[in-house]
Chains A and B, each alone.
Chain A
């Protein structure tokens, strides 16, 4: 099932609100790794969530800051995998 970048972003933002930021909305372009918003273990949890929610597999090589550096980037990865 194809997921739009917008839908993926909304899901990711919801997960971050609930599990990471304590209710704060994370803007799509805010740096997540560089600014320390997301720890590596939280990112592992996020990947597990994404893999289950969207029925995708994130490869080890893809599991990096380039793809997980912002909500925008993560949403892009999810969209490309469900296209």
Chain B
């Protein structure tokens, strides 16, 4: 049982250490680390962060491949009252430079190979590196992470941390052409862990496979829930089918959360699972988009049918961490006939379906999904206009309560049936859903234009059963752009953007169609593509 109240991320650790200090907290490759190790090393790194000048509220960048050190970094930042910012390891130097400047990262903890690629001066303070020393110019000061860990230091003074403090910033694709950060409080993080671990029924007996990136809310949530209940989190970097099934068996995994493409990879091992069912796997939980119904049927047959594995369908948006889930016993509500059921609100949360007038929709009517509850994040970091648009006063609150509570307008369309179950319909805007990422077309267009060869660009998503949507682009070339321009553009995009942002195809047109206001008409371009 939890003995200390849970206010901040490191309180979750405190309880788990007291419960069983020798329990294995993290498995990273062939190494195992206990809760006691986690306590000790997050203190060592916390002390080093204080020495490096990290003040209360400062942002600490974590630019590491998913690893033991990445886990320690989050807890180290939390316990000294700083906010961690998990940088997608797939980000390329331009995104990292933008992000470092956007949230004013004080220090960065990173893999040497990643730090090495950064532009000089990207890190204003100290860079803690894992591996060989990187070039000196990338930071003001370089510290070897290996020398900090195992040093046994303890932060000199305990800092008071409140649940109202900024806990982390989760970066998501932004319509200004660069990522935007969702400022998430300690309370958001802790309540999120309480809620998710409750409905997934996690216990200290669980062995959870972490197959999602830690910069993604659901990936981080697997860590926080595991931490809260004192379970074992197995860090899995390779998602290749052979490795995936081997890890599930070798570590006797009881639970895994994934996005639809992960299940497609798992299903490649269907024959192996048939021959030897995954008997330890208690549940799988999906988020980040619809699983193609054919794949869902296969998962039911191979997992629920052969090993009693329960399947949770979840829905969440970074702006409010997690929103809904469909309990495993109700799984058949998601079907080609009835649609993609996302269940009901997670505990302590209310999900509203709101029409254009701000009123609640009648059952069956489609409206915008609005999230109300304790996981509603603080704001978009430094972006007032975007914040006002997504974080609004509760439309159903009595006027006497004035503006005491903000809810999140998701931009997702949904409907509710007579029994209160929610169904996901689609996006209200041009956002592309690909590989579990919610991608702003502007960010892809910005990358294309950055090649210097493109006059105008339009990016859009095309439905695809494997990845949700494929990213496509139509561009017009600048005068004088020569033969082979498309290859050069592609090369530029690959070099400067994460892989999930690279368009599957880049088509060239003389001119891009415009709407009445002179803006590029994305809808007609994507419709024209869909109709061949």
Chain A interface residues (CB < 8 Å from chain B): 19-24, 33-36, 39-44, 60-68
Q: A22-B492, A22-B493, A36-B90 are in contact. Are A63 and B467 (CB under 8 A)?
A: no
Give the distance to chain B from A13, nearest Cβ to Cβ, in Å.
15
Contacts of A66 in B (CB 8 A): 242
Query: Nearest Cβ in chain B — how far from A63, in angstroms?
Result: 5
Given contacts A23-B495, A24-B495, A36-B65, 6 further A-B contacts (CB under 8 A): A20-B494, A22-B491, A41-B467, A60-B245, A60-B271, A68-B240
Contacting residue for A33 out of B237, B265, B268, B495, CB 8 A: B237
Contact yes or no, A40 B492, CB < 8 A:
no
Query: Could you jot down 9 A-B contacts, CB within 8 Å?
Result: A22-B490, A22-B494, A35-B113, A43-B240, A61-B242, A64-B240, A64-B246, A65-B243, A66-B242
CA distance A35 to B66 in the complex (A): 10
The answer to whether the Cβ of B150 comes within 8 Å of any Cβ in the partner chain is no
A-side contacts of B246, CB under 8 Å: 64
**Per-residue CB proximity of B113-154 to A under 8 Å, as 1/0?**
100000000000000000000000000000000000000000
User: Judging by beta carbons under 8 Å apart, are B240 and A42 in contact?
Assistant: no
A41 proximity list for chain B (CB < 8 A): 261, 435, 466-467, 499
Interface residue ranges, B against A (CB under 8 Å): 65, 89-90, 113, 237-243, 245-246, 261-262, 265, 268-269, 271-272, 435, 466-467, 490-496, 499-500
Bound-complex Cα distance A64 to B262 (A): 14
A68, closest chain B residue (CB) = B240
Is A33's CB under 8 angstroms from B238's CB? Answer: yes
Say whether B268 contacts A60, CB under 8 Å. yes
B499 touches A40 (CB 8 A): no
Q: Which of A23, A36, A62 has the most CB of B within 10 A?
A: A36
Taken together as a complex, chains A and B put the C-alpha atoms of A67 and B492 apart, in Å, by 29
Closest chain A CB from B435 CB (angstroms)? 6
CA distance A35 to B116 in the complex (A): 13
Docked pose: A62 CA to B241 CA in angstroms: 9
Provide the residues of chain B in CB contact with A33, threshold 8 Å. Answer: 237-238, 240
**Inside 8 A of B268's CB, which chain A residues have their CB?**
60, 63
Query: How many whole Å from A57's CB to the nearest CB in chain B?
Result: 12
Query: Are B499's CB and A20's CB within 8 A?
Result: yes
Task: Tell me which of B113, B237, B241, B435 contacts A63 (CB under 8 A).
Answer: B241
Contact, CB under 8 Å: B499 / A62: no
Is the pair B495, A22 in contact by a Cβ cutoff of 8 Å? yes
A34 in contact with B241 (CB, 8 Å): no
Contact of A64 with B242 at beta-carbon distance under 8 Å, contacts A22-B494, A39-B90 already known: yes
Name the B residues within 8 Å of A40 (CB-CB).
238-240, 261-262, 265
- What chain B residues lie within 8 Å of A42 (beta carbons)? 499
Measured CA separation A63–B266 after assembly (Å): 11
A62 touches B242 (CB 8 A): yes
Smallest beta-carbon distance B242→chain A, Å: 3
Q: Which of B65, B262, B466, B496 contacts A35 (CB 8 A)?
A: B65
In order of increasing CB-CB distance, the 3 nearest A-B pairs are A64-B242, A22-B494, A22-B495
Residues of chain A contacted by B271 (CB below 8 angstroms): 60
B259 to chain A, nearest CB (A): 11
Please give me the residue from chain A that is nearest to B488 by CB atom: A23
Q: Is the CB of B89 within 8 A of A36?
A: yes
- How many angstroms from the CA of A65 to the CA of B491 in the assembled complex? 26
A23 contacts B90, C-beta separation under 8 Å: no
Pair B265/A44 contact, Cβ less than 8 Å: yes
User: Quick one: which of A19, A34, A61, A67 contacts B237, CB cutoff 8 A?
Assistant: A34
Which residue of the partner chain A has the closest CB to B267?
Answer: A60
Please name all residues of chain A whose beta carbon is closer than 8 Å to the beta carbon of B467 when the two chains form the complex.
41
A37 to chain B, nearest CB (A): 9
Complex: chain A residue closest to B494, CB-CB: A22
With the chains together, A68 CA to B243 CA distance in Å?
Answer: 11
Question: Smallest distance from the beta carbon of B324 to chain A beta carbons, Å?
Answer: 26
Which listed residue (B90, B242, B261, B490) contacts A60, Cβ 8 A? B242
A61, closest chain B residue (CB): B242
Assembly CA distance A20 to B493 (angstroms): 10
B242 nearest CB neighbor, chain A only: A64
* B490 surroundings in chain A (CB, below 8 A): 22
User: Are A60 and B241 closer than 8 Å at their CB atoms?
Assistant: yes
- Residue pair B238, A21 in contact (C-beta under 8 Å): no
Closest to B92 in A: A22
Residue in B closest to A30 when the chains form the complex, CB atoms: B113
A40 CB to nearest chain B CB (Å): 4
B501 to chain A, nearest CB (A): 12
